Structure 1
Amino acid sequence: MLPRPARSALPLAGLALLGACAQQGDFGRPAPSAWNGLIETTGTLSARTRGEPASLFPLTDDEIALRDRAWRFLMPASTRDVFLDALANLTRARVLPPGWRWPDVADYHESLLGGPFASAVSRYRRLGDDATADARLIPPFAATAAKVAEADGLRLRSLPFVRTLSDDDVREAAMRVAENRCLVAWVRLSVAERIEGYRYAAEHLLIEVPGPEAVAAERSVTALSGRRALLDPLLPPDAAARCGLAPGPAVSAAVAAPPLVVKN
């Protein structure tokens, strides 16, 4: 019989194997396929089981684009480990809950120094390239998120005028709106965590392997921090806490927020 630690690791190992089999498309994102569709469907059902917002409605083109653009920010910048990447992909797909593993601010720095490299210059260059790539992807994500939010507003405003809707229809519509908003909140939170990891790495590299390349790397991180501000107007500041992605103050039943959608 396997020892207890080994037995407890088996479910995660099986899930990681499932995630590792996901077929990759452009830029490492999951390619459209029956297998990847199964993973996404499993994630939706798992999220519903946990009580997270997850709708069975089909995705609009903009909602698909939003999820594609979210991919980079929901996958860790720090790891190149196949097992951890697979677990991260299953977390992104919501097969695993988002909070099963809280990020460590030192992870990215450790990954920079974890493998062989010719000189410290390459470490600073990778840091700068990663931060710059993130910064370039934030504006199109924010623009897509704004389009999705506009469509969701139309969806909610139209509900009272469609008399043939069932309670299930209204619930699924509300769930999709919440699902979209929580995805944006998750990305916004992840971008903040990435910036912290990049800044930690820049500061520690400056002490460990000081060099003039540190200036360019720091500028890239600062530019990313500036671009992150584009995500702030999309949602209230406490959106991540409301979505269960970050700790927040407890809200009593007496002052709880009203339901998202009520069918007349």
Structure 2
Amino acid sequence: MRRIPRSAPAPTRDDPLPSPRPHSLALAAALTFLGACAQQGDFGRPKAGAWNSLVDTTGTLAARERGEPASAFPLTDDELTLRDRAWRFLMPAAGRDAFLDVLGNLTRARVLPPTLGRPADIAAYFATLISEEARSPVSRYRRLSEDATADARLIPAFAATAVRVNDADALRLRSLPFVKVLDDADVRHAAMRVAENRCLIAWVRLEAGERLARYRYALEHLVIEVPVGPEAVPVERTLAALNSRRALLDPLQPPDAALRCGLAAPEAPVAPLPLVTKD
């Protein structure tokens, strides 16, 4: 059986955390530089190129240092697509904030733990939205609508890819007992890849729910601070559409998947009744 060359086996969650290594300081020193150079492509995906690949490789090594699942197996086409389509949801919703973009990219790539780069403040998106210069309050409503619409359009493609990845992972696990030549490292890396995929899907599901909560907070506070009645109605409809699309992610993972993956966050809040209705 043809063997795939590998580095030393990565630790699982059951293994003790590795002790600090000499190159850890050098890795930490490079984090800000790597994150600042994140490049975004089209359709909410990272731009293909050597630099973004370097950031992702650094993230795999950092996750391995922390004792998180980090498989050495090559990614399938669907696994690559899944990671590309997760990009938008793992980056800050507001955007246009250099620090948050750097922090978001470092957590997205697993250079930093996922919980470190996720803003806990539900008002973060609104704060960025209201602080930007605008010719008219209407432009803020339109920016909110555009961001929510972009999310809603990208969710179905991500969900379809996630279904294929889940099916492939199920096949992977079912096949393990039937492989005649399989060492412990193979089993561990197969299990870690499944864990990586499942936790990525759970992470996107969590972030999609939190984005919806931040968008709704922004709409509610726009209505209070700069009420422009006719503009609020289409935004409300857009948020309702996003909530409907977000529900496509619910069947993909158990309800407690985010907690089990160490994201340490409660389930996304249920969207309240519409604030603005049209008679």
TM-score tier (shorter): 0.7 to 0.9
The aligned counterpart of 1:217 is 235
CA contact 1:181–1:235 (8 Å) conserved in 2: yes
Matches within 5 A, 1:23-172: 23-27=39-43, 29-103=45-119, 104-172=121-189
Aligned partners of 1:197, 1:15: CA distance in 2, in Å? Answer: 28
Residue 241 of structure 2 aligns with an amino acid whose one-letter code is A
CA RMSD of aligned residues (A): 1.7
Aligned partners of 2:29, 2:138: CA distance in 1, in Å? Answer: 36
CA contact 1:23–1:36 (8 Å) conserved in 2: yes
Aligned partners of 1:12, 1:43: CA distance in 2, in Å? Answer: 11
Residue 242 of structure 2 aligns with an amino acid whose one-letter code is L
Q: Relative to total residues, which structure has the larger helix share, 1 or 2?
A: 1
The aligned counterpart of 1:202 is 219
Instruction: Name the CA shift for 1:247/1:213 in 2 (closer, same or farther; >3 Å).
Output: closer
The aligned counterpart of 2:14 is none
Instruction: Pick which of 81-90 and 115-124 moved more.
Output: 81-90
Instruction: Name the CA shift for 1:142/1:199 in 2 (closer, same or farther; >3 Å).
Output: same
The aligned counterpart of 1:187 is 204
Identity between Structure 1 and Structure 2 (%): 70
TM-score, length basis structure 1: 0.86
Q: In the TM superposition, what is the alpha-carbon distance from 1:50 to its structure 2 partner? A: 1.3
Aligned partners of 1:46, 1:28: CA distance in 2, in Å? Answer: 25
Q: Per-residue CA shift, 1:158-193, capped at 9, x if unaligned?
A: 000002011000100000001000000000000011
Q: Per-residue CA shift, 1:187-215, capped at 9, x if unaligned?
A: 00000110010000000001111111011
The aligned counterpart of 1:176 is 193
Instruction: Pick which of 29-38 and 102-111 moved more.
Output: 29-38
Q: In the TM superposition, what is the alpha-carbon distance from 1:143 to its structure 2 partner? A: 0.4
SS of residue matched to 1:26: coil
CA contact 1:15–1:87 (8 Å) conserved in 2: no
Instruction: Pick which of 62-71 and 49-58 moved more.
Output: 49-58
Q: In the TM superposition, what is the alpha-carbon distance from 1:108 to its structure 2 partner? A: 0.7
Gaps of 5+ in 1: 1-10, 249-264
The aligned counterpart of 2:246 is 228
Instruction: Name the CA shift for 1:58/1:131 in 2 (closer, same or farther; >3 Å).
Output: same
The structure 1 segments of at least 4 consecutive aligned residues displaced by more than 4 Å after TM superposition are: 11-14
Q: In the TM superposition, what is the alpha-carbon distance from 1:224 to its structure 2 partner? A: 0.5
Aligned partners of 1:32, 1:227: CA distance in 2, in Å? Answer: 27
Aligned length: 238
Q: In the TM superposition, what is the alpha-carbon distance from 1:31 to its structure 2 partner? A: 2.8
Aligned partners of 1:195, 1:28: CA distance in 2, in Å? Answer: 17
Aligned partners of 1:137, 1:25: CA distance in 2, in Å? Answer: 14
Aligned partners of 1:70, 1:157: CA distance in 2, in Å? Answer: 26
Aligned partners of 1:173, 1:53: CA distance in 2, in Å? Answer: 10
Aligned partners of 1:133, 1:28: CA distance in 2, in Å? Answer: 8
Aligned partners of 2:261, 2:98: CA distance in 1, in Å? Answer: 29
Aligned partners of 2:207, 2:76: CA distance in 1, in Å? Answer: 24
CA contact 1:16–1:83 (8 Å) conserved in 2: no
Aligned partners of 2:28, 2:95: CA distance in 1, in Å? Answer: 17
2:45 maps to 1:21: no
TM-score, length basis structure 2: 0.81
